[in-house]
Amino acid sequence: MPTREEMLEHANQNINAIIAKMLADEEELERDVRNLEHYSDVFLMLMDLDEKQKNWTSDVWKGEIHALYDPLMELRKNILLIRERFWTSGEKARDYTKEPDIVKP
């Protein structure tokens, strides 16, 4: 049976792997969003629309793209905040059960 320390280490490694994947995925996601914006504009350029219609449609499409993208970035930001608060430079998790520094109301 694994020791408590081994279990903490295993959990910590898994958490760090998930965070690393989220960071890598963020870069890919940002590229995907830029590509979506670019190709939607290229598509609009090829359509027979006047400038006002193109600009309006482009703004609507970009709004839709960011309506999906922005919540994912907010989730990522919260995950990084959790990592910052509870993990020290990606190493072992601090045992909060031994340090009663959280004041309950």
Residues 13-43 have pLDDT tens digits of 776 676 666 666 667 777 877 888 888 888 7
- What is the reported pTM? 0.48
For residue 11, give the nearest of 81, 95, 102 by alpha carbon.
Answer: 95
Biggest CA-to-CA distance, the chain: 71
Say if CB 22 and CB 79 are below 8 A apart: yes
pLDDT digits (tens, 9 = 90+) for 69-81: 888 778 877 877 7
- As a whole number of angstroms, the distance between CA 8 and CA 22 comes to 21
d(CA 89, CA 37): 35
